[in-house]
Amino acid sequence: MTETPSPTLRVECLARRHDVTARGVRVIPEETPIAFTYGGSTHAVMMATPADLEDFAVGFALTEGLVDTAEEAGEVEILASEAGVELRAWLKGGRQEAYSERRRSMAGPTGCGLCGIESLEAATRSLPVIDNALTIHAEALIEAMERLPAAQKINQETRAVHAAAFWNPATGALIVREDVGRHNALDKLAGALARQAIAASQGVVLMTSRVSVELVQKAARMGAPIIAAVSAPTALAVRNAEKCGITLVAVMRGRDFEIFTHPGRILEQAAAHVA
């Protein structure tokens, strides 16, 4: 049996510094094909960082709507080979039968982000509405985002991976998952919360990336009321966040940020319009 690849690798390179070129060493993230298999059928293959794979398997099943709980995702078997890593599971509670029926009606191949979607209409599938009274102070949100870089262990080595984190404002706890793909990082975070029986409704999802629509969709499936990110959102992400009742905070740079939807959850925000 092949061992699961390390999430990072040390490679030699030629480094040019101050007009001088010399041999050097760089730690870079691994990128590995990860196959999600349910009941013997491969659902999707994602290029991902081979870390926190149990969380990845459970979180992917949850955010893609294949299951509603970590228990329904079943036991995950990790099988590594020269070709990549397979995450093999049998869904429980009748979910496997429903999934098998869905597979029989699928019309197209799977892809990155919106995986296993049968039609264009399904790509805009209905999502839960987050009716949550959680509020946080702007100052506390800024401080939480400032803590994130120190908690990104893989990125500290490589400077090349995204992070998704869950911040609980009541306890200050910060749970972080990393990956070369931003949606993979969020799937891993979703799995970590589900496996630890932590309710996403009690805190904020922090992202080190832009906010595209699949991140809003996954956060809605998690039940997260607030997303905060360092980069800007897409227009479709904003429309979906508005529809889902999610507060979308983005372009967080230092002490500055912009709120695009449902601003009432962020306290002490400036009222003046800034172009």
Domain check: are 96 and 185 in the same one? no
Helix (H) or strand (E) holding 25: strand 20-29
Percent of the chain with pLDDT over 70: 89
Domain check: are 54 and 147 in the same one? no
Distance CA 106, CA 184 (A): 23
Residue 127's closest CA among 33, 29, 214?
A: 214
Instruction: List, by residue number, the catalytic residues.
Output: 112
Predicted local distance difference test score (pLDDT) of residue 107: 40
Predicted local distance difference test score (pLDDT) of residue 272: 53
Domain check: are 113 and 159 in the same one? no
Residue 167 lies in a domain: yes
Predicted local distance difference test score (pLDDT) of residue 37: 96
204 phi and psi angles, rounded to 5 deg: -125, 135
Give me the number of domains the chain comprises.
2
pTM (predicted TM-score): 0.92
Q: What CATH number is associated with residue 249?
A: 3.40.140.10
Q: What pLDDT band is residue 102 in, cutting at 50, 70 and 90?
A: confident
The larger pLDDT score, comparing residue 107 to residue 92, is at: 92
Sequential DSSP letters for 137-179: EHHHHHHHHHHHHHH-HHHHHHS--EEEEEE-TTT--EEEEEE
Choosing from 66, 92, 124, the residue where a domain stops is 124
Q: What pLDDT band is residue 18 in, cutting at 50, 70 and 90?
A: very high
